[in-house]
Amino acid sequence: MLTREQIDKVVQMALEEDAPWGDITSETLVAEAAVANADLVAREPGVFSGGEVFAIAMTTLDDTVKVTLQVADGEHFDKGAVLARVSGPARIVLRAERVALNLVQRMTGIATLTAVYVAAVEGTNARVVDTRKTTPGLRALERHAVRSGGGHNHRFSLSDAVMAKDNHLAVIDDLTAALKQARKDLPHTTHIEVEVDRLEQLDAVLAAGVDTIMLDNFSLGDLRRGVEIIGDRALVEASGGITLDTIADVARTGVGVISVGALTHSVRALDLGLDISVR
């Protein structure tokens, strides 16, 4: 899921990127003994994600900084809510502020957006999942944020599940045979998913016995037809240009999985601020 080691790696890299040889402002203008108390405050409502990431960003440089989370990942909050309280050496808090905010704003932005998509499919059997369209280096964090918003994750990487797309299919002569051979060669724990562009491709895929079939850019009618044909022989995933306007209809076709690239590829950072009082 999201491990301490993954968070540490991102936070350390970000802190170094942001201050390769220190924070010359704080070191010049803020007394070494000054203490800062700071509140992470919501400037707009949303669904929280990244509490642990925020805390680690604040405490990595100096473990005398204390962070108390007021809201759990996945919880909804209102405008004005205090999400976390921070206390520690002012120079450290001021230096870590931007890195901590950049990470938690992005994660909370993703969780908040995901929650809207998830709400839209409520009452159906469909789960909303992310894609590999994540920010390079931040995939583990962004996938956690999707889960915070009530969404689900797709495969983590190219290494842990097969997803045969149109480009792969284009080079295969006998699709059924190729998929059967893949199943034979791969670990028995490997999930095989195949993307099809039109209903005519389904027979060959079903004959091979795959785990999930993705119907890419299908009309609602074709989606319904696909779900019917596939039945319980495979899980059905809908994909391709699905928006908030269309996702409810897609979900009602009976698909089990709806993947939405927009959850992570175009994140709006949620407006969170750090209100600092230094003494």
The interface with its own copies within residues 17-76 (CB under 8 A) comprises 17-31, 34, 36, 61
Sign (positive or negative) of CA dihedral 58, 60, 66, 68: positive
Q: Verify whether residue 197 is a known catalytic residue.
A: no
Q: Does the annotation count 98 as an active-site position?
A: yes
Pick the piece of the chain touching its own copies (CB under 8 A) from 12-20, 76-84, 196-204, 245-253.
12-20
Nearer to its own copies among residue 103 and residue 221 (C-beta) = 103
CA distances from 219 to 117, 197, 199, 249 (A): 19, 11, 11, 10
Asked if 56 and 107 count as a contact pair (C-beta separation under 8 A), the reply is no
Q: How far is the CB of 248 from its own copies (least distance, A)?
A: 20
Which residues 154-183 are close enough to bind its own copies by CB under 8 A? 154-165, 167-168, 170-172, 178-179, 181-182
Tokens coding 34: 């000054």
Span 209-228, contacts to its own copies by CB under 8 A: 211-212
- Quickly tell me which residue has 């950049």 as its tokens: 102
Annotated catalytic residue, options 133, 183, 224, 225? 133
Give the bridge partners for 276, in sequence order: 38
Binding its own copies (rule: CB under 8 A), the pick from 63, 78, 123, 189 is 189
Q: Residues 93-122: x/- map of binding to its own copies (CB under 8 A)?
A: -xx--xx-xxx-xx--x-------------
Put residue 49 in one of left, alpha, beta given phi > 0 → left and psi -120 to 50 → alpha.
beta
236 touches 194 (CB < 8 A): no
Cβ-based nearer residue to its own copies, 163 or 221: 163
